[in-house]
Structure 1
Amino acid sequence: MTAAAELIGVTQRFGSFTAVDAVDLAVPPGKLTTLLGPSGCGKTTTLRMIAGYSAPTSGTIRIDGIDSTRTPPEKRNLGMVFQSYALFPHMTVADNVGYGLKLRKVPAAERRARVMETLELVGLAHLAGRKPKKLSGGQQQRVALARAIAIRPRLLLLDEPLSNLDARLRVQMRTEIRRIQAETELTVILVTHDQDEALEMSDEMVIMNEGRIVQQGAPQQVFPRPADRFVAEFLGYENFLTAADGTPLTIRPEHLRLAEQAPGLPATVADVAFRGVDLLVSLDVVDPSGATVRLLADVRGGTAPAPGSSVTVVTPDDHLVRLPR
């Protein structure tokens, strides 16, 4: 199966700074792939090179198996949605969505039909005649998405598209984008720094750090088995300790159990925070290597332990992740 997009040894340098460092990546067709990582990791630069807005210093970019390394953006037939949405304020919703079709000289009747078809897909057909300033943030985001989809792109590229929305709308739009992708079977590449967003939306996650890919795979593969401490921390693992043989270990707060008398690690309760449905218990623990570390336990049900009390921390083997030394 030909990759929808493929990067082969792609590097991007700006002076002495290497933003993307010899990246090899194959994006599967008909799937939603996320580029995930902290600010400055190279994910947006990678997306811009796929889009054609920036040429790689070295390496090859193929789209649908065709070398597109030097192909200008307007000839790649890709849809792109930016953080800012970049809607034309003087145009109606319908005219915004049809703008790319007009540039491509699609006949007016077909253009109107495709605009309405796409607005139906994003649930905004009833707002076709409205101006962007009359729309909510979530509605503007859907218009930008519709404009990108209307041209029937080979790839849909999304650069932090939900970052300007409030928390509730972000969650709603994750579901909407996933639905639209599934219905259209579009190949989507989404850039995000939000691990929850990536875990919820991805068919494939590509985690980047300092211009390199550090782990790639389906969320169900990556989340329980982070490749190293950087990935573990970025995915929300907060507890790190060391085995007796020196192997670094990590375990999530919800997988720690507290007991008064059980085989486990001796600990002292440092703090207890009530969070509504659970308790977040901070513990000073002597780990298997003999070092004292601070661990967090997510406790549901039972009596809250008092700060200063002694407890035993149980670390189930099936939830302990062994990291590279």
Structure 2
Amino acid sequence: MSTAAEFVAVSQVFGDFTAVDSIDLAIAEGKLTTLLGPSGCGKTTSLRMLAGYAAPTSGTIRIAGVDSTRTPPEKRDLGMVFQSYALFPHLSVADNVGYGLKLRGVDTTERRRRVMETLDLVGLAHLAASKPKKLSGGQQQRVALARAIAIRPKLLLLDEPLSNLDARLRVQMRAEIRRIQGETGLTVVLVTHDQDEALEMSDDMVLMRAGRIMQQGAPQQVFPNPANRFVADFLGYENFVTAADGTLLAVRPEHLTATADVTPGGAAHDGLQLTGRVTDVAYRGVDLLVTVQATDASGADVRLLSDVRSTGAESVAIGDRVTVSAPAGRLVALAD
């Protein structure tokens, strides 16, 4: 598989703070790669270095195999969509989309053709003459996407592009961006802090923490096999217990059950069994969230979360002694 861009031992240091710590990262051509992690993990700094808006303190950035570490942004042939969309309010939708083409000297006839072609791709050809202020948030986001796509960039960079939209629109735009990427074959790098967004949209997912890459791979590989506690916690495993042999185990809330039948046990080949006391029960319509305080095999107090369908779920109440259990196949052994 061809590499569209590559980071080689790239660092970014601001005084005493290391924002990006000597990362190596290959971005596959024609795929959607997400940089995922909490605030301050280095994902946006990495995107800005790829775009050319920040120079790395050390290391090399290659785009299409060419050392572009010191190449200015306007010469990198990249499209970028910011969190704020950054549309020109005085220009029509068509003129906003054609702005980058005009800067590149594309003649009027070809520019109009490519603008309408791109607006048709994002479903906004009928609004070509409108001004941005007349558009909804989702429509403005599509215009920003169209402007970035129209120049036919080597890479399309998206910096938290959905964060200003409401929940319903975010879900719609995830599918829309994925469709556009699939139809155009663009290489897309998306920065997000939303695990659902990354899981749904990514071909390749890069989880970052404190400037370092914790794990990289397809969602179908990473999600069931988190490399460490940070990755598991970030992806919503929530329950962590230590087995008798000292192994740290993770299990997702939907794979943990809490029953009133108190059976002593621990983490073993046949799964997990711990006794504990219910500290909270939250009915959420389709599911029931039960919080249990227990002690694992190491003697440590652990807070466990069981998330089961409310239909047919066993009735438990705050203060009840319960057994929490999970089958062996649902337990994930973590490196740390």
Distance 1:45 1:289 in 2: 40
| Match of residue 268 from structure 2 | none
AA in 2 matched with 1:245: D
Contact 2:260/2:320 (CA < 8 Å) preserved in 1?
no
AA in 2 matched with 1:308: G
Displacement of 1:288 after TM fit?
2.5
Contact 1:279/1:304 (CA < 8 Å) preserved in 2?
no
Distance 2:307 2:2 in 1: 44
Distance 2:223 2:253 in 1: 14
1:250 and 2:250 aligned: yes
AA in 2 matched with 1:47: L
| Match of residue 286 from structure 1 | 295
How far does the alpha carbon of each residue in 1:45-76 deviate from its partner, in whole angstroms, 9 at most, with x for none? 11011111111111111111111111111111
Distance 2:46 2:138 in 1: 26
Number of aligned positions between the proteins:
325
Name structure 2 gaps, 5 residues minimum: 266-272
Displacement of 1:311 after TM fit?
2.0
Displacement of 1:260 after TM fit?
4.0
Distance 1:324 1:47 in 2: 28
| Match of residue 307 from structure 1 | 318
How far does the alpha carbon of each residue in 1:101-153 deviate from its partner, in whole angstroms, 9 at most, with x for none? 00011011110010000000000000000000000000000000000000000
Deviates more, 1:169-178 or 1:222-231: 222-231
How far does the alpha carbon of each residue in 1:134-176 deviate from its partner, in whole angstroms, 9 at most, with x for none? 0000000000000000000000000000011111111110000
TM-score (norm: length of structure 1): 0.97
| Match of residue 320 from structure 1 | 331
Distance 1:161 1:125 in 2: 21
| Match of residue 275 from structure 1 | 284
How far does the alpha carbon of each residue in 1:186-216 deviate from its partner, in whole angstroms, 9 at most, with x for none? 0000000111110110000001111111110
Displacement of 1:2 after TM fit?
3.3
| Match of residue 128 from structure 1 | 128
Structure 1 stretches of 4+ with a deviation exceeding 6 A read: none
| Percent of aligned pairs with the same amino acid | 75
Deviates more, 1:33-42 or 1:303-312: 303-312
Contact 1:272/1:304 (CA < 8 Å) preserved in 2?
no
AA in 1 matched with 2:284: R
Which runs of structure 2 are paired with 1:1-325 in the superposition (5 Å)?
A: 1-261=1-261, 264-300=273-309, 301-302=311-312, 303-325=314-336
AA in 1 matched with 2:290: V
Distance 2:300 2:18 in 1: 38
Displacement of 1:265 after TM fit?
1.7
Tell me the SS of whatever aligns to 2:276.
strand
Contact 2:155/2:189 (CA < 8 Å) preserved in 1?
yes
Deviates more, 1:253-262 or 1:34-43: 253-262
Distance 1:290 1:230 in 2: 22
Name structure 1 gaps, 5 residues minimum: none
